Amino acid sequence: YDDAVQLFRQALELAPDSPAVLLNLADAEFLAGRETEANHSYRELLDVLERDPGAEEHLTIGAQALAHLGHVSEALAAVHEALRQTPDNPLTAYEASLVFAVLGDRASALWHAQRALELGLDARWFVFPWFDALRADLQAPTD
């Protein structure tokens, strides 16, 4: 993940207020074992979203940062609003699953992960460590 951190830092120079780049940088830092740096990047992401008038379209990105920072109520509120707005979006279901996994709600994480797969998301999205506890129970949809 060290290489990913460097690539996302370079991307951040090109797009300093990109919520997606900030989230990916924070996640890469977290996965590289640099929790302090990751938390700083998650907070920076939340600052960018607070200044962004279009932040409503980044609810699940913000929810992920909130979950990683331990802001449970705010993360849940954001993810539930995103699911209300786009209930049939596979990426929203995936990101909801990730939020629930980070928060330790295995049942909700598994339900939303399964929903993401049923909506057409590829199973390779679930390779990240926060899905370790779910992976054995995920079932590829049958046609």
pLDDT for the residue 101: 97
Give the 3-state DSSP-derived string for 18-32, with helices as H, strands as E and coil as C.
CHHHHHHHHHHHHHC
The tokens for 4 are: 């990913």
Calculate what percentage of the chain has a pLDDT beyond 90: 85
Burial of 137 (0-12, 13-18, 19+ CB in 10 A): exposed
Angle between helices 59-68 and 35-51 (to 10 degrees): 150
- The rounded distance, in Å, linking the Cα atoms of 35 and 68 is 10
- Angle 6-17-104 from CA coordinates, rounded to 5°: 75
Please identify which residue in the block is written with the tokens 């995920």: 138
Tens of pLDDT, residue by residue over 93-140, are 999 999 999 999 999 999 999 999 999 999 999 999 999 999 889 887
> In the chain, how long is the greatest CA-to-CA distance?
44
